[in-house]
Amino acid sequence: MPQPNVTTTTTTLGDLSLSEHLFTMPLVWDTPTDSRTIDVFARVITRPGGEELPYLVFLQGGPGCEAPRPSFAPRQPNWLDSALAHYRVVMLDQRGTGRSTPVSDDDLAMGQDALVEHLTHLRADSIVRDCEAVREFLGVEQWTVLGQSFGGFTTLHYLSRYASSLREVLITGGLSAVGRHVDDVYSLCYEKTRFISEQYYRRFPEDRNRMRALVDHAREGRIELPNGEIVSEMRLRSIGHRLGANDGWQLIHGLLDHDHRSNAFRHDLAALMPFTGRNPLYYVIHESSYADGCVTNWSAERTFPDDFREDVTLLTGEHVFREWLDTVPDFQPWKGVAEKIAQVEWPTLYDKHAISASGVHGAASVYVNDLFVPLEFSLETAKLLPSVELHVTSEHEHNGLRASGGAVLAQLIELAHGRAVR
């Protein structure tokens, strides 16, 4: 692998030492005739006395979201101390996010076809190649990967291609379906959102009529966000995405307690939206994260169940809809790009035989009620990883890594290191 150009700076943050590396990487790996490059940013965080600890690279959820920024008081991310007790932590901004040549509205100027082609190089396979270049630069033969959600998907590709580079894997809510069609995933995710919607209404039965009334208002064009978006029915129902987090039910119940004409409602609704213009990549290539060798073709829209059409109070989760290209101002400029991305023939990401033969040990948290990475497929994938210990729990939702304040990660580290979980 060719060595990338690197610019390095060092600084401190409270008791932490930060080494910040900006790499110049090929946009297209394994094509020497393609001279295009991008920046890839990685921040190495070390605690005093931890200078000789092994490395752990954190792969963020998404796709399309940068790594969390560390802070000192309070310590953020809140699981960082659990990690720093055992590792030096590498926070990687995955290509297209943060300081790694972020995708923005300005990129629309390159033209639809050129931008679509550019976006095809921002998936898990290219992210793993970037990781390998960072690992080699740091001069270590093996490191540990912590993959949250989409970061876990990326870890599965890592196991498919470069398992010998992995000392161990820690996965939280990220054991994706392997060898399954994207339609299988979204269909099962609808089953999960149906179940959790009904759970929510059992807790707050009065909210069902409130939601029904809000859908009527949305159909009449009477719900407007502060940015001028006239909220569609399906955009409104996407607040169900929040039920995938530990405190999501509280946020939704608080929203439905407000008058839809109030500023409080409009601003709170905008804050609950799962897909926004801040990270257009999250919306535009989201379905590709489940595409293990197929065309997505608006899978979530195509697999929309009949009972969801009939019962407008059933909420949706991390499902993207084509209609938002017309109704959401932030997405309208991306319409042509998103339509073409939906027709891309995505290459296969996972190799079952390589994953099974990898022998890499570690631990994975599987959340029983996970809205986004269904339990059934996670357990199916776990069978390919007999050396990875499972922590199956209903204590947390999909955001257990953050919501537990480091407890989930501490449990995984103990499992991976062969110690009993207290």
Q: Is the bond leading into 4 cis (omega within 30 degrees of zero)?
A: no
Whether 421 is covered by a domain: the verdict is no
Q: Is the bond leading into 68 cis (omega within 30 degrees of zero)?
A: no
H helix or E strand, kind and range, residue 80: helix 80-84
17 and 117 co-located in one domain:
yes
213 and 356 co-located in one domain:
no
As a dihedral over the C-alpha atoms of residue 331, residue 334, residue 337, residue 339, rounded to 10 degrees, the angle is: 40
161 and 16 co-located in one domain:
yes
131 and 209 co-located in one domain:
no
Whether 381 is covered by a domain: the verdict is yes
Q: Which of 287, 306, 341 is where one domain is finished?
A: 341
Taking the C-alpha atoms of residue 275 and residue 76, their distance in angstroms, rounded to an integer, is: 23
* Structural domains in the chain (count): 2
How high is the pLDDT of residue 422? Answer: 41
70 and 161 co-located in one domain:
yes
130 and 188 co-located in one domain:
no
Residue 46 pairs in a beta bridge with 17
How high is the pLDDT of residue 383? Answer: 97
Whether 203 is covered by a domain: the verdict is yes
Domain that holds residue 283: 182-341
Cα–Cα–Cα angle for 148, 150, 153, rounded to 5 degrees: 100
Taking the C-alpha atoms of residue 77 and residue 65, their distance in angstroms, rounded to an integer, is: 15
Query: Which CATH number goes with the domain that contains 108?
Result: 3.40.50.1820
166 and 276 co-located in one domain:
no
Whether 76 is covered by a domain: the verdict is yes
Q: Which two tokens stand for residue 160?
A: 């498919």
Q: Which of 312, 341, 370 is where one domain is finished?
A: 341
* Cα atoms found within 13 Å of the Cα of residue 313, Cβ hemisphere only: 19
How high is the pLDDT of residue 1? Answer: 62
How high is the pLDDT of residue 323? Answer: 97
208 and 174 co-located in one domain:
no
Taking the C-alpha atoms of residue 268 and residue 119, their distance in angstroms, rounded to an integer, is: 31
How high is the pLDDT of residue 224? Answer: 97
154 and 224 co-located in one domain:
no
Whether 332 is covered by a domain: the verdict is yes
Whether 385 is covered by a domain: the verdict is yes
* pLDDT < 50 stretches in the chain: 420-422
pLDDT digits (tens, 9 = 90+) for 98-156: 999 999 999 999 999 999 999 999 999 999 999 999 999 999 999 999 999 999 999 99
Instruction: Label residue 278 exposed, middle or buried (CB < 10 Å: 0-12, 13-18, 19+).
Output: exposed
Burial readout 176-190 (b: 16 or more C-beta within 10 A, e: otherwise): bbbbbbbbbbbbbbb
How high is the pLDDT of residue 200? Answer: 98
240 and 111 co-located in one domain:
no
159 and 214 co-located in one domain:
no
166 and 201 co-located in one domain:
no
Taking the C-alpha atoms of residue 167 and residue 163, their distance in angstroms, rounded to an integer, is: 9
Q: Which of 302, 324, 341 is where one domain is finished?
A: 341
